[in-house]
A = this chain, B = another copy of it.
Amino acid sequence: MAIVLGPHQYGKAEVRVVAVDRSSARHTLVDLNVSSSLRGDFTAAHTVGDNSHVLTTDSQKNTVFAFARDGVGTPEEFGLRLARHFAGSYAWITGARVAVESYGWERIPVGGRPHDHAFRQHGGEVRTAVVTVDGNDAYVLAGLTDLVVLKTTGSEFWGFPRDRYTTLAETHDRILATAVTARWRYDTGAEPDWDATFAGVRAALLETFATTHSRALQQSLYAMGEAVLERFPDIAEIRMSMPNRHHFLQDLSAFGLDNPDVVYHADDRPYGLIEGTVMRDDVASAELAWQGTPGFC
């Protein structure tokens, strides 16, 4: 028996690059958080501190900034460009993963018209892209995090098994709230209109959450994923993580008050956590695409 180095990777995390396009008076802005990881043969660095194979994380950072000089484009495109560059830079580097968070900005309205160079940042929700290049293969996961949604009705929860540890009452009308994290994988080689598809997926998630009469958060999750796959044939699978942000009806009877579904307490912890994949049954799995991406898989 010997002790050996197993799977490993390294890179530069959270490069905060902002790029401005001033080619017209109507400026545009991209605001990204870029993390890169390299895969390949870096054994000597681990076992004897020999760095001759180590493309430094500082150089990875420099590359992110240098590549932004010529325009960034969509998060997916920027990720592809960087991951292909890193994976092809040295013989011993076999692959790269580039994860991008994109923060949204909208123009400040002045006198009813969007301003040319002044912006307000959207808070909360973040657009994401994770690109993995392995040799000649490239995988693209698009996604979003922290899309917080709530329905004040149209949600039930009943029919579950009852045993010694079950105290929950059944309900036929409750608040349903969650913070959606979704990541969807495009077919290998697909080159869709990344921005339009992102917007379309986001709309499908929102609309389906709103219009699905839900008997379980699982049902909402599945319906949302199914709507995405139905609308976008380029998407092979979608994975979602949806914490159940519990809103408990507050008992006011001690104060001589009823509470006809009016007053709720929003709880922090614990929370239900529903995680699932919706996929096409004819699509090969691609675990490499998901490696290193936090999630249930």
Q: Which residues of A contact B (CB under 8 A)?
A: 1-22, 27, 29, 31, 35, 37, 42, 45-59, 61-63, 65-66, 68-69, 89-90, 105, 108-111, 115, 117-125, 146-154, 156-161, 163-168, 175, 206-207, 209-211, 214-216, 218-219, 221-222, 225-226, 229-230, 237, 239, 243-244, 247, 250, 252, 254-282, 291-292, 294-297
Q: Count this chain's copies in the assembly.
A: 4
Q: Is the CB of B278 within 8 A of A3?
A: yes
CB distance from A221 to the nearest CB of B (A): 7
Residue of B at shortest CB range from A222?
A: B46
Sampled A-B contacts (22; CB under 8 Å): A1-B281, A2-B282, A3-B280, A4-B278, A5-B222, A6-B277, A10-B275, A13-B243, A18-B266, A19-B262, A20-B152, A35-B270, A59-B163, A59-B168, A65-B250, A68-B263, A117-B154, A118-B151, A118-B210, A119-B150, A122-B123, A123-B125
Alpha-carbon separation in the docked complex, A269 to B62 (Å): 13
Alpha-carbon separation in the docked complex, A62 to B219 (Å): 24
CB distance from A83 to the nearest CB of B (A): 15
Contact of A274 among B4, B7, B10, B207 (CB under 8 A): B10
Q: Is the CB of B27 within 8 A of A153?
A: yes
Q: Is the CB of B148 within 8 A of A259?
A: no
CB distance from A15 to the nearest CB of B (A): 4
CB distance from A248 to the nearest CB of B (A): 10
List the B side residues contacting A297 at CB < 8 Å: 7, 291-292
Q: Is the CB of B15 within 8 A of A270?
A: yes
List the B side residues contacting A229 at CB < 8 Å: 3
CB distance from A12 to the nearest CB of B (A): 5
CB distance from A145 to the nearest CB of B (A): 11
* Residue among A45, A48, A209 having the largest count of chain B Cβ atoms under 10 Å: A45
* Residue among A47, A48, A167 having the largest count of chain B Cβ atoms under 10 Å: A167
List the B side residues contacting A154 at CB < 8 Å: 117-118
Contact of A52 among B55, B161, B211 (CB under 8 A): B161
Contact of A45 among B69, B119, B216, B261 (CB under 8 A): B216
List the B side residues contacting A218 at CB < 8 Å: 8, 10, 42, 45-46, 49, 54
List the B side residues contacting A47 at CB < 8 Å: 219, 222
Given contacts A10-B275, A262-B69, contact A62 B165 (CB under 8 A): yes
Residue of B at shortest CB range from A153?
A: B117
CB distance from A160 to the nearest CB of B (A): 4
List the B side residues contacting A281 at CB < 8 Å: 1-4
